[in-house]
Amino acid sequence: MGWFKRKSKEEAGDRSFDAVAERIAGWILKWQTSLSAKLNAKAKKYDSKTILLVMAGLGLLFGGYCLWLVSSLFR
């Protein structure tokens, strides 16, 4: 019956969208790799205890801010 078959015209259009999607994905991966390399180089300057303390402090600060936002809804 051919209900679920694609037409050849649609396949050609899908290929162009796939090429654009691959190009965008490649650009994003290249950007992500370069950013992670830069951040890793900066993070190597500090010891793991300092990074852990900074991350814990930022987590507590963000958590406190979220709690403040939720509590301000009920005032």
Q: What's the rounded mean pLDDT across residues 53-59?
A: 97
pLDDT score for 15 = 76
Answer whether 43's CB lies under 8 Å from 51's CB.
Answer: yes
Torsion of CA 7, 11, 12, 13, to 10 degrees: 100
- Summarize pLDDT for 6-40 with one digit per residue, the tens: 666 555 556 788 889 999 999 999 999 999 999 99
- pLDDT at 49 exceeding the cut of 60: yes
pLDDT score for 54 = 96
Question: Is the pTM above the cut of 0.85?
Answer: no
**Of 51, 29, 49, 54, which is closest to residue 40 (Cα–Cα)?**
51
Q: What average pLDDT does the structure give for the chain?
A: 88
Report d(CA 75, CA 62) in Å as an integer. Answer: 21
